[in-house]
Chains A and B, each alone.
Chain A
Amino acid sequence: MNRQVRPQPSADVLPLMGNEAIARGAWEAGVRVAAAYPGTPSTEILESLGRYPAADLYAEWSTNEKVALDVAIGAALSGVRAIACMKHVGLNVAADSLMSQSYIGAHGGLVLVVCDDPGIHSSQNEQDTRLFARFAGVPVLEPSDAQEACDFTRLAFQISEDFDTPVIVRSTTRLSHTRSVVRVGARAERPSKGFVDAPGKTVTIPANARRLHPRVIEREAKLAAWLETSPLTRLETGDRTFGIVTGSTAYLYVKEVVPRASILKLGAAWPLPEEALRAFAASVDRLLVVEELEPALETAIRAMGLAAEGKAFFPRAGELSPELVRAGLAAAGLAEAAPAPRSLGIEPMARPPVLCAGCPHTGAYLALRGIDARVAGDIGCYTLAAVEPLRSIDTTVCMGASIGNAVGMAAAGEKKPIVATIGDSTFLHSGIPPLIDAVYNKANVTVVILDNAITAMTGGQDHPGTGRTLRGESAPKVDYESICRAVGVTWIRRVDPYDIGHMYQTLREAIVHKGVSVVISERPCVLDPVKIKGAPLAVAEERCVACQSCMNLGCPALIWSDALYEGRHRVAIDAAACIGCTLCAQVCPTDCIQPMALA
Chain B
Amino acid sequence: MRAEPKGEQAAAATRALNVMIVGVGGQGVLMISKALALIGQKQGLQVKQSEVHGMAKRGGAVFSHIRFGVEVWSPTIARGEADALIALEWAEGLRWIDYLRPETGVFIADTRRIVPPFACRSRRHGAPMAYARETPAEALEKVGEGFALDATAIATTLGEPRAANTVLLGVLSTSLDMPAADWLAVLDALTPPKSRAINLEAFRAGRAWAEAARDDPTLRFDAGFVPRARPADAPDMSVALVINAAWCKGCDICVKLCPERCLVLDAEQVAFLKAPHACTGCRVCEWLCPDFAIEVRTAVREAAGA
Interface positions of A (Cβ within 8 A of B) = 3-4, 6-9, 15, 40-41, 121-122, 145, 173-175, 177-181, 249, 252-253, 255-256, 259, 321-323, 338-339, 341-344, 346, 348-356, 370, 381, 384, 388-389, 459, 527, 545-549, 551-552, 554-556, 558-560, 562, 564, 566-569, 576, 587, 589-590
CB distance from A403 to the nearest CB of B (A): 25
A552–B259 CB distance below 8 A: yes
CB distance from B110 to the nearest CB of A (A): 15
Q: In the bound complex, what is the Cα–Cα distance between A568 and B125 (angstroms)?
A: 5
CB distance from A245 to the nearest CB of B (A): 17
A259–B116 CB distance below 8 A: no
A256–B73 CB distance below 8 A: yes
A323 cross-chain contacts in B, Cβ below 8 A: 78-79
Q: In the bound complex, what is the Cα–Cα distance between A370 and B252 (angstroms)?
A: 10
Given known contacts A346-B94, A354-B60, what 5 new A-B pairs fall within 8 Å (CB)? A15-B38, A121-B52, A178-B49, A389-B121, A459-B57
Could you show 28 A-B contacts with beta carbons less than 8 Å apart?
A: A8-B44, A15-B38, A15-B41, A15-B49, A40-B54, A41-B53, A122-B55, A174-B75, A179-B49, A321-B74, A341-B80, A344-B142, A346-B97, A346-B132, A348-B94, A351-B61, A351-B92, A351-B95, A352-B116, A356-B59, A527-B57, A549-B282, A551-B117, A554-B117, A567-B231, A568-B123, A569-B120, A589-B288
- Give chain B's interface secondary structure class: loop
Asked if B50 is at the interface of the complex by the 8 Å CB criterion, the answer is yes
Asked if B292 is at the interface of the complex by the 8 Å CB criterion, the answer is no
A559 cross-chain contacts in B, Cβ below 8 A: 115, 117, 120
* Number of A-B residue pairs having CB atoms within 8 Å of each other in the complex: 222
Q: In the bound complex, what is the Cα–Cα distance between A163 and B175 (angstroms)?
A: 54
B120–A253 CB distance below 8 A: no
B73 cross-chain contacts in A, Cβ below 8 A: 252-253, 255-256, 259
CB distance from A109 to the nearest CB of B (A): 30
A568–B124 CB distance below 8 A: yes
Interface size counted on chain B using CB atoms at 8 A? 79
Asked if B148 is at the interface of the complex by the 8 Å CB criterion, the answer is no
Complex interface residues of chain B between 212 and 252 (CB less than 8 A to chain A)? 228-229, 231, 234-235, 237
Asked if B76 is at the interface of the complex by the 8 Å CB criterion, the answer is yes
B153 cross-chain contacts in A, Cβ below 8 A: none
B142 cross-chain contacts in A, Cβ below 8 A: 344, 346
Q: In the bound complex, what is the Cα–Cα distance between A3 and B65 (angstroms)?
A: 20
B57 cross-chain contacts in A, Cβ below 8 A: 356, 459, 527
CB distance from A159 to the nearest CB of B (A): 26
Given A4-B71, A9-B41, A346-B97, do A353 and B58 touch, yes or no (CB 8 Å)? yes
A7 cross-chain contacts in B, Cβ below 8 A: 44, 46
Complex interface residues of chain B between 136 and 172 (CB less than 8 A to chain A)? 142, 161
A568 cross-chain contacts in B, Cβ below 8 A: 123-127, 280, 282
* Among B52, B91, B119, B231, contact of A177 (Cβ-Cβ < 8 Å): B52
B257 cross-chain contacts in A, Cβ below 8 A: 370, 549, 587, 589
B48–A177 CB distance below 8 A: no
- Give chain A's interface secondary structure class: loop
Q: In the bound complex, what is the Cα–Cα distance between A109 and B252 (angstroms)?
A: 63
B274 cross-chain contacts in A, Cβ below 8 A: none
B76–A321 CB distance below 8 A: yes
* Among A3, A344, A354, A381, contact of B71 (Cβ-Cβ < 8 Å): A3
Given A341-B79, A356-B59, do A178 and B53 touch, yes or no (CB 8 Å)? no
A341–B98 CB distance below 8 A: yes
A6 cross-chain contacts in B, Cβ below 8 A: 44-46, 70
Q: In the bound complex, what is the Cα–Cα distance between A41 and B53 (angstroms)?
A: 8
Interface positions of B (Cβ within 8 A of A) = 24-25, 34, 37-38, 41-42, 44-55, 57-61, 70-76, 78-80, 91-92, 94-95, 97-98, 102, 115-121, 123-127, 129-132, 134, 142, 161, 228-229, 231, 234-235, 237, 256-257, 259, 280-284, 287-288, 298, 300-301
B38 cross-chain contacts in A, Cβ below 8 A: 15
A546 cross-chain contacts in B, Cβ below 8 A: 123, 282
A567–B126 CB distance below 8 A: yes
A590 cross-chain contacts in B, Cβ below 8 A: 287
Q: In the bound complex, what is the Cα–Cα distance between A157 and B119 (angstroms)?
A: 51
CB distance from A348 to the nearest CB of B (A): 4
CB distance from B211 to the nearest CB of A (A): 28
Given A174-B50, A560-B115, do A567 and B79 touch, yes or no (CB 8 Å)? no
B287–A589 CB distance below 8 A: yes
Q: In the bound complex, what is the Cα–Cα distance between A177 and B78 (angstroms)?
A: 18
Q: In the bound complex, what is the Cα–Cα distance between A545 and B129 (angstroms)?
A: 18
B301–A566 CB distance below 8 A: yes
Q: In the bound complex, what is the Cα–Cα distance between A555 and B58 (angstroms)?
A: 11
Given A527-B57, A567-B125, A568-B124, do A181 and B52 touch, yes or no (CB 8 Å)? no
A179–B48 CB distance below 8 A: yes
A381–B123 CB distance below 8 A: no
A341 cross-chain contacts in B, Cβ below 8 A: 79-80, 98
CB distance from A585 to the nearest CB of B (A): 15
B283–A545 CB distance below 8 A: yes
B76–A322 CB distance below 8 A: yes
Which A residue sits closest to B2, measured CB to CB? A9
A549–B284 CB distance below 8 A: yes
Q: In the bound complex, what is the Cα–Cα distance between A552 and B123 (angstroms)?
A: 11
Interface centre among B37, B50, B280 (most CB of A within 10 A): B50
B298–A353 CB distance below 8 A: no
Which B residue sits closest to A551, measured CB to CB? B120
Top 7 nearest A-B pairs by Cβ distance?
A122-B54, A353-B60, A567-B125, A348-B95, A353-B58, A353-B55, A256-B74
* Among A178, A554, A558, contact of B48 (Cβ-Cβ < 8 Å): A178
Which B residue sits closest to A546, measured CB to CB? B282
Which B residue sits closest to A253, measured CB to CB? B74
Q: In the bound complex, what is the Cα–Cα distance between A551 and B75 (angstroms)?
A: 39
B102–A342 CB distance below 8 A: yes
A249–B75 CB distance below 8 A: yes
CB distance from B178 to the nearest CB of A (A): 14
Q: In the bound complex, what is the Cα–Cα distance between A569 and B142 (angstroms)?
A: 32
B132–A4 CB distance below 8 A: no
Which B residue sits closest to A9, measured CB to CB? B41
Which B residue sits closest to A389, measured CB to CB? B121
Interface centre among A40, A249, A322 (most CB of B within 10 A): A322
Q: In the bound complex, what is the Cα–Cα distance between A55 and B138 (angstroms)?
A: 60
Q: In the bound complex, what is the Cα–Cα distance between A6 and B5 (angstroms)?
A: 13
Which B residue sits closest to A6, measured CB to CB? B44
B47 cross-chain contacts in A, Cβ below 8 A: 15, 179-181
* Among B61, B98, B131, B284, contact of A547 (Cβ-Cβ < 8 Å): B284
Which B residue sits closest to A354, measured CB to CB? B59
A177–B51 CB distance below 8 A: yes
Interface centre among A348, A552, A558, A562 (most CB of B within 10 A): A348
A560–B50 CB distance below 8 A: no
Q: In the bound complex, what is the Cα–Cα distance between A554 and B228 (angstroms)?
A: 21
B74 cross-chain contacts in A, Cβ below 8 A: 252-253, 255-256, 321-322
